[in-house]
Amino acid sequence: MRRFLLTGFVMAALTVPAWAQTNTITLGSAVQLSGKDANTGRYYRDAYQMTIDKINAKGGIKVGDKTYQLKLNILDNQSDTNLGVQLYTQLITRDKVDFLLGSYSSTDVMVDSAVAEKYEMIFVQGGGASSQIFSRGFKYTFGTLPRAEDYFSSTIAMMATLDPKPKTVALVMADDAFDVAVAQGTRDLVKKAGLETVLDQQYAQKSADFSSLLALVKSKSPDVVLWGGLLAEVLDSIRQSKSLDVNPKGFMAFTVGPPTADFRKALDKDADYAFGMTPWLPTGVLKDDWFGDDAQFNKEYIEKYGYEPDYHAASAAADVEVYAKALAKAGTLDKAKVRDTIAKIEFDSLYAHVKFADNGQIDVPQIAIQIQSGKIVPVFTTKAINKPLYPVPAWGKR
């Protein structure tokens, strides 16, 4: 009988959630820590951990009458979308994490969020912006990146203020979930702006040879090239643009790259004049309950990790803060109640004002930026901020 009671006690203990035994709430994620997207994946790993450490150092999270510490269980999806699905399943079914944080890229988030929805696990992510993620009626997925369709909105608005005013556009996008959504939205923005699209071309994601595509761009002689792809693709396209002497009359703008230190380091002086966009820059304006403000977050991040954060890191930090805010407000660890609290949560963070729409995505305006003398210069939001270097000189005249 004693052995039976002891066995029963052990079995009961094994079925009790980790937080009930240790006063620890575990957040689980599978991100790109190796492989082609590792440079971007590290933003999520590092920002998640730093924000968790900051919250714990300030006393943790009080949920009802108990105080909990946060813990991170992070796995490496090796930049493999299929492996990511397996790892999120593992986090839920074997590791028994309490809540989920996201990975990088809309393609990964599309499938990872489907796993979360299947198991009714809350999934807060700042790595996927495609509207396809948020158009499926999922209840458990929340996102802190702006709509992919709006990524070029500030850039196109800026074009109306330039002299000479651009008239023609070449649109070149990868065929991944994010860039397909960007292309859809950009076509509408270009049309509304009264611009002529002289080229609308798609390429296979993970492409490395853009010579034929760039030759086509060159033959169309557009005023502006709007280029979408992940960081490796963008870097390759710029290097090959230089070698093939592809020079739009006005400028080239990219969905990713210019906001990151990796972009500027990889291209050195060839990064100058490139246009891009970002929903976040550390200016000291955005106030935060744990870091004080966005500038302090930026400072502490550089001190801790030795490289600059970009909007990926800032959105990842906000994702952790979503849980901290919602758990405290819900006063319970019941997943259904926490989910409902997140859906209604509203607070200021170091990244943005966080308030989720009915589809689970927040609205954050984009800032058009340009690299000038190796530095990020904000040039336009809904109005001019700083003067862009325009028209961009040809490669041979820089």
DSSP assignments along 324-384, one per residue: HHHHHHHTS--HHHHHHHHHH-EEE-SS-EEE--TTSB-----EEEEEETTEEEEEESSSB
Q: Rounded distance, CA 5 to CA 102, Å? A: 41
Which pLDDT score, from 0 to 100, does residue 20 have?
54
Which pLDDT score, from 0 to 100, does residue 256 have?
93
Which pLDDT score, from 0 to 100, does residue 17 have?
53
Which pLDDT score, from 0 to 100, does residue 164 have?
97
Residue 15 has pLDDT above 80, yes or no: no
CA nearest to 251, candidates 180, 177, 146, 152: 152
CA nearest to 100, candidates 88, 90, 108: 88
CA nearest to 266, candidates 236, 246, 228, 301: 236
Residue 99 has pLDDT above 50, yes or no: yes
Which pLDDT score, from 0 to 100, does residue 52 have?
98
The answer to whether the CB of 175 falls within 8 A of the CB of 229 is no
Which pLDDT score, from 0 to 100, does residue 21 have?
55
Q: Cα 132–134–136 angle (5° rounding)? A: 80
Q: How confident is the model at residue 117 (pLDDT cuts 50, 70, 90)?
A: very high
Q: Rounded distance, CA 145 to CA 167, Å? A: 30
Q: How confident is the model at residue 22 (pLDDT cuts 50, 70, 90)?
A: confident
Question: Could you count the other beta carbons within 10 Å of the beta carbon of residue 119?
Answer: 14
Tell me the HSE value of 371 on the side-chain side, using a 13 A CA sphere. Answer: 23
Tell me the HSE value of 199 on the side-chain side, using a 13 A CA sphere. Answer: 23
Residue 18 has pLDDT above 60, yes or no: no
Q: Which one-letter DSSP state was computed for residue 222?
A: -
Which pLDDT score, from 0 to 100, does residue 206 have?
87
Q: Is 23 left (phi over 0), alpha (psi -120 to 50) or beta?
A: left
Does residue 391 have a cis bond before it (omega within 30 degrees)? Answer: yes
Q: Is 329 left (phi over 0), alpha (psi -120 to 50) or beta?
A: alpha
Q: Which domains does the chain have, with CATH numbers?
A: 15-146+282-355 (3.40.50.2300), 150-278+367-397 (3.40.50.2300)
- What letter represents residue 378's amino acid? P
Residue 89 has pLDDT above 90, yes or no: yes
Which pLDDT score, from 0 to 100, does residue 9 have?
41
Q: Rounded distance, CA 255 to CA 176, Å? A: 13
Name the average pLDDT for the chain.
94
Q: How confident is the model at residue 4 (pLDDT cuts 50, 70, 90)?
A: very low
Which pLDDT score, from 0 to 100, does residue 227 have?
98
Q: How confident is the model at residue 128 (pLDDT cuts 50, 70, 90)?
A: very high
Q: What is the mean pLDDT of residues 336-340?
A: 98
- What letter represents residue 394's amino acid? A
Which pLDDT score, from 0 to 100, does residue 140 have?
98
Which pLDDT score, from 0 to 100, does residue 395 have?
97
Residue 349 has pLDDT above 80, yes or no: yes
Provide the 3-class DSSP secondary structure of residue 126.
coil
Q: What proportion of the chain, given as a percentage, has pLDDT over 70? A: 95
Residue 228 has pLDDT above 70, yes or no: yes
Q: Rounded distance, CA 309 to CA 262, Å? A: 10
With 0-12 / 13-18 / 19 or more C-beta atoms within 10 angstroms meaning exposed / middle / buried, residue 350 is buried
Q: What is the mean pLDDT of residues 40-67?
A: 97
Which pLDDT score, from 0 to 100, does residue 10 have?
40
Which pLDDT score, from 0 to 100, does residue 327 have?
98
Tell me the HSE value of 41 on the side-chain side, using a 13 A CA sphere. Answer: 22
Which pLDDT score, from 0 to 100, does residue 230 have?
87
Q: What proportion of the chain, given as a percentage, has pLDDT over 90? A: 92
- The helix or strand, by DSSP H or E, that contains position 120, with its residue range, turns out to be none
Q: How confident is the model at residue 141 (pLDDT cuts 50, 70, 90)?
A: very high
According to DSSP, the β-strands at 367-372 and 196-203 are unpaired
